[in-house]
Chain A
Amino acid sequence: KNQVEQSPQSLIILEGKNCTLQCNYTVSPFSNLRWYKQDTGRGPVSLTIMTFSENTKSNGRYTATLDADTKQSSLHITASQLSDSASYICVVSARLSGGYNKLIFGAGTRLAVHP
């Protein structure tokens, strides 16, 4: 069964600190993995995309890693800011015939950054 598990469910950190969010998946056939950020009251916005051959990708203070062998990904946030407070959703894409992708969503990690 295609599944995406995220941990922790929620996290509180102090401004300026680093944190790491985890994503484990069982999805086949794997196409790519994205991390989305969802601010309160807004829709999700894509942060990074990683394909099978990529181990790490950065977007500013966000760095995503992918281990395709263990089927794990992490999102590391450096020097957190208050604006990082949001839900972070791991989404794994399964490649279907015809070039279409089926997305499997994790339940998200809710991050709160406190001053």
Chain B
Amino acid sequence: ETGVTQTPRHLVMGMTNKKSLKCEQHLGHNAMYWYKQSAKKPLELMFVYSLEERVENNSVPSRFSPECPNSSHLFLHLHTLQPEDSALYLCASSQEGYGGADQPQHFGDGTRLSIL
């Protein structure tokens, strides 16, 4: 148990569907992250939220829309995705800022997304 829970674990959707991925952390951390993991490629950072404000958006297409209503919850809203968006989407949390710079990111087990 990592303290970071992602739902659903698996999701199959058509290109015209709208769905959302959910992440919840029980660690009291102040930063949360969305990553995309494709086969044989490094994890790609998508979004960073620190103290519920988005601090980084790595040129992610607008068909991915994040939402962070509070420090414990993070959503990734999906609409009109493409087949190349099929991947494992990982959520992570950490304690950032002075005194927390050497703290690890704690990852959830991911949502395996398949676009038909």
A interface, CB within 8 angstroms of B: 4, 9, 31-32, 34, 41-46, 49, 51, 89, 93, 95, 98-101, 103-108
Contact = CB atoms under 8 A, between A and B. Distances in A.
Given A9-B40, A107-B42, A95 B2 contact: no
Contacts of A34: 104
B13 interface: no
Contact of B43 (A42, A89, A101): A89
B45 A103 contact: yes
A97 to B, nearest CB: 11
B interface secondary structure, majority: loop
A42 to B, nearest CB: 5
Nearest to B110: A43
Interface of B: 2, 4, 40-43, 45, 50, 55, 90, 92, 96-102, 104-105, 107-110
A44 B94 CA distance: 13
B40 A107 contact: yes
Q: Which of B40, B43, B90, B107 has the most CB of A within 10 A?
A: B43
Contact of A31 (B2, B92, B102): B102
A49 B102 contact: yes
Nearest to B91: A43
